[in-house]
Structure formats: C-alpha cells, structure tokens
Amino acid sequence: MKKGLLLVTLSVCLLPLWAQRDFSEIDSLIKKMLPEASEVGISVYDLTAKKPLYNYRAEKLSRPASTMKLLTAITALSRPDANEPFRTEVWHDGVIEHDTLQGNLYVVGGFDPEFDSQAMDSLIAEVITFPFSVINGQVYGDVSMKDSLYWGHGWAWDDTPAGYQPYLSPLMFCKGTVQISVVPSTVQGDTASVSCQPVSSYYTLANRTKTRTSSAGKFSFSRDWLTNGNNLVVSGNVASIRKDNVNIYDSPGFFMHTFLERLHAKGITTPQSYAFAELPRDSVQVERMAGWNTSVQKVLNQLMKESDNLNAEAFLCRLGAQATGKKLVAAEDGIVEIMKLIRRLGHDPKDYKIADGCGLSNYNYLSPALLVDFLKYAYSRTGIFQRLYKSLPVGGVDGTLKNRMKGAPVFRNVHAKTGSFTAINALAGYLRMKDGHEAAFAIMNQNVLSAAKARAFQDKVCEVIVGR
C-alpha cells in the first residue's frame, strides 16, 4: 500500500518536470536550427486545460506577414452580421418603353473578391431577361462602398504587376488579374503558345517568346506597369509549361469594360463607354434587376487556404462598412474594429501597429501572445471557430501547408495560417496534441533570409508540441 502511494506521489510530482523536459526541446531547436542573427517569438496555450504551455519572447513585436489575416478574419466573424454574403447587384432607374430602357444602368459593387467570369455571365443573363435591347442612358459602376485608395498603407510599389498585389475596388473582376498560360512549341525556336483568362479587350498581349532557345533570354511575365498600362508582355525562353497571374491596372475599369463588352455581345445596344456614379437609392424609379452573392465561407476559405490578400482586404473593407454604416469606407475603419477587439482581449492597442488587413504592409507589428489570444477568443465561440477552423490550411493536406508536415506526428494535426515575407516567416493556428488536448500557438520568425530554414524550424516546434 505504501509502495503504491509512493509511486502515485512520485508520478504527480514528476509531471511538471516531464512537461518542462519535453518543451525544453524547443529551446534546443532555437539554438541549433536558427541563424544567430535571427529572432523568434513563440507562444503556446493548452485550450483544453486552459493554461499556458510554452512562451519564448511571446510579447516581442514582430512583422506578422499573412498571419495578420487571422486578426482580420476573427474580428469580421465576431460581428452579428458576419454571415451576410458579399453582393454585387445591377439596378436601373427610369422606365422601360418599347424595347428601350429610358434610363441608366448601375452596377453596384460589394467588394466580392471571388467575382469571376461565371458570376459576370450570370449577372448579365439576369439583366437580359428584362424586356429591352437598347439602353438610352448611361451605364455606371457604383464603387461608393470604399474610398479611392487602391493599395494598402505600406504596400511596396514595385510588387506590381504581381497577382498577389491587386488594385483594390468594390468592383473586382477575376481578382483584378489575368492568368497567362504559356505552352512551348513542339519545334525548337518557334514562338510558344500563349493564352489568357479572362478574355477581355481591356488588355493587349505581346508574345515575344522562343521555344527552348536560351539566347532568347530569361523567361518573364509582365506588363507596362511603370506607365500604368495594360499591355501584357510574355518574353524569353520557354522550356516548359508556365502559368502566372499579372494584375491589371484600374480594377473597376477592368470590371466595367468587360461588363459592357459582354452585355453588347448578348445583343444589347449599349453606350460606347461607362462612367462611375452612386446609385440614387432614394429615387422612386430605381429597381433591382440582378444580383450575385458569394458566401462568407467561400471567401474565408480562399483567404486562409491560399493566403489571398484581396480576400483579406475585402473582409477589412466590409468590416468597416458594417461597423460604421457609411460610404467610402477607408482601411482605417476596419482597423479600428480590430483595435477594439484587441482592447477587449486585455491588450493595449497602442502596443501594436496595424496597417492593412492582409499583412502585405511592412508597417504591421504584432506579438505571438496577441495572435494566440485571438485564437483563444475564436475557440471560445463556436460560431466563429467552426468557420475559421474549416478554412485553415491542414498540415500535409492542403493550402499553404500542403507540402509541409507530411510525416507523423504533425500530419493532419496542425491547422494553421502561414505568413511569408522577405526575411519573415510566421505560423499560427491550432494543433492537436498526443494526449488529445487542443492547443493554440504562434511562431514568428524574423530576420531569416532562408524561408526553408524558418519553415523547417516551425515544423519541428510543432512536432515537439504535438508530442512523439
């Protein structure tokens, strides 16, 4: 009996030591795997036991890169109107007489970042069910939801024309980008085959490629972005199939030009050009003609799984619009709401810097502890957690974690948001430990020029937390 009691007592006393020994492995990983010039902050919290598990410089301010998207999404999902879909609508004023719309057409943007060719065709299919084939008025785009700033605060001007840096607008068509596909010819020296999606006369294409010809120079996609032009240029040596996205200057122009072009292709006589104006909703003559809705979950899944910057900024803009009820919303209106939640979680907003909703800005500064507190907040609210958890990349399975964490014990046990920028790598989310407990964690690597080293370190830390 005494022997049994002694064993139980020893077991209980040694539990903290075993836990400390296990997590001291992380200290060893910091010393062994990271360059001396780099820094890291780590915070881990046991959600099941409701207690901290490990902290290393957890309050240290770091650039979050795309883990900033967690704060934007969680704040947006915490609103009572969070489930409202992203809407794009077509309205008209005036009257329809003798096959003619004696009035104007308005396309009202709701900052739907997933509005694509299918959505455009569906919108037009609804419009042409109305009994007119001539528009005797103007066609307007209503972009009054957001101010006219098309980039976030601190975004790098020379990141354009990359597809990950779109020109923001309440009217976005195919994310304001064109996907270019290049296929080499079967004959060396011949011009490669180039195709673009979506098809639109808003841009032009110059094909200056050569198949398997090294003297043609390095392969590249671009456009005349220094002059804000939309002349796409594909050049250089093509040795294999290549695909990439190039952003288009003036997103609302791209949307409206294509809308008018496709409307005309359906036999509608339209004005030669479009303009921008706000729908006069107080008029007794306005009538809704068509609409396209995109669910919040679809936008959220793309935001998290593929780390989509446009989707994050759409959430930020809509967050500001829902909170203020005003037109011409600025990024600051959404950021104010994030700061309010930071304060509710017991932090001082003045201790952090938030410049955008997606993490492209170098002005963002957060801490691992703050990220974990947002994750804890989401976990404690079923409605938020279910949507967020479903959207996060799964280790070794999909999204930005598809090619990581493929082995035991982390495979499928980590659901987390990645964040990558020059010399910055972060990972934050949820994981399931070997004992069945759920944990929230944040790892923020800074000043690591090798992204591969930072990611390998993060994966190893997750292995330690999960337990072997």
Query: What does the pLDDT read at residue 20?
Result: 42
Query: What does the pLDDT read at residue 23?
Result: 84
Take residue 246 and report the two structure tokens written for it.
């190039």
Average of pLDDT values for 207-223? 96
Take residue 459 and report the two structure tokens written for it.
């994966």
- Selection from 89, 162, 98 nearest residue 136 by Cα: 98
Residue 8 lies in a domain: no
Average of pLDDT values for 144-165? 96
Query: What does the pLDDT read at residue 96?
Result: 94
Residue 16 has pLDDT above 50, yes or no: no
Task: Give 6's pLDDT tier (boundaries 50, 70, 90).
Answer: very low
Task: Give 284's pLDDT tier (boundaries 50, 70, 90).
Answer: confident
Task: Give 468's pLDDT tier (boundaries 50, 70, 90).
Answer: low
Residue 316 lies in a domain: yes
Identify whether residues 267 and 352 lie together within a single domain: no
Least confident of 100-114, 117-131, 281-295, 375-389: 281-295
Residue type, 98: H
Can you spell out the DSSP letters for 362-393? TT-BB-HHHHHHHHHHHHTSHHHHHHHHHHS-
Domain boundary among the residues 247, 263, 287 is at 247
Task: Give 22's pLDDT tier (boundaries 50, 70, 90).
Answer: low
Q: How many structural domains is the chain composed of?
A: 3
Answer whether 363's CB lies under 8 Å from 335's CB. no
Residue type, 307: S
Please provide the average confidence, as pLDDT, over all residues in the chain.
94
Take residue 206 and report the two structure tokens written for it.
């110059």
Identify whether residues 312 and 459 lie together within a single domain: yes
Take residue 269 and report the two structure tokens written for it.
């006589």
Average of pLDDT values for 258-282? 95
Query: What does the pLDDT read at residue 281?
Result: 83
Distance CA 162, CA 297 (A): 26
Average of pLDDT values for 24-52? 95
Q: What is the DSSP letter of 278?
A: -
Answer whether 47's CB lies under 8 Å from 372's CB. no
Query: What does the pLDDT read at residue 18?
Result: 39
Domain boundary among the residues 229, 247, 265 is at 247
Cα distances from 359 to residues 135, 168, 213, 356, 362, in angstroms, run 43, 15, 39, 6, 8
* CATH code of residue 454: 3.40.710.10
Distance CA 244, CA 420 (A): 19
Residue 165 lies in a domain: no
Residue 9 has pLDDT above 80, yes or no: no
Residue 10 lies in a domain: no
Residue 340 has pLDDT above 80, yes or no: yes
Answer whether 211's CB lies under 8 Å from 238's CB. yes
Identify whether residues 408 and 318 lie together within a single domain: yes
Domain boundary among the residues 236, 269, 296 is at 296
Identify whether residues 41 and 115 lie together within a single domain: no
Instruction: Give the predicted TM-score (pTM) of the model.
Output: 0.93
Distance CA 76, CA 230 (A): 34
Distance CA 6, CA 94 (A): 89
Residue 170, preceding peptide bond in cis (omega within 30° of 0): no
Take residue 298 and report the two structure tokens written for it.
């679809």
Contacts of 345 (CB under 8 A, 6+ apart): 370, 373, 374, 377
Residue 7 has pLDDT above 50, yes or no: no
Identify whether residues 189 and 291 lie together within a single domain: no
Residue 425 C-beta-side C-alpha neighbours within 13 Å: 16
Beta bridge partners of residue 108, listed in sequence order: 89, 142
Residue 229 has pLDDT above 90, yes or no: yes
Residue 306 has pLDDT above 70, yes or no: yes
Residue 94 lies in a domain: yes
Percent of the chain at pLDDT above 90?
Answer: 93
Identify whether residues 304 and 371 lie together within a single domain: yes
Residue 116 lies in a domain: yes
The domain in which residue 142 lies consists of: 86-148+250-296
Task: Give 282's pLDDT tier (boundaries 50, 70, 90).
Answer: confident
Residue 408 lies in a domain: yes
Residue 384 lies in a domain: yes
Identify whether residues 336 and 377 lie together within a single domain: yes
* CATH code of residue 104: 3.50.80.20
Identify whether residues 261 and 241 lie together within a single domain: no
Residue 4 has pLDDT above 80, yes or no: no
Residue 47 has pLDDT above 80, yes or no: yes
Residue 165 has pLDDT above 80, yes or no: yes
Identify whether residues 355 and 455 lie together within a single domain: yes
Query: What does the pLDDT read at residue 13?
Result: 47
Q: Which residues of 144-181 are buried (b: 16+ CB within 10 A; e: fewer)?
A: bbbbeebbbbebeeeebbbbbbbbbbbbbbbbbbbebe
Identify whether residues 68 and 104 lie together within a single domain: no
What are 370-421's pLDDT values in tens digits? Answer: 999 999 999 999 999 999 999 999 999 999 999 999 999 999 999 999 999 9
Identify whether residues 324 and 383 lie together within a single domain: yes
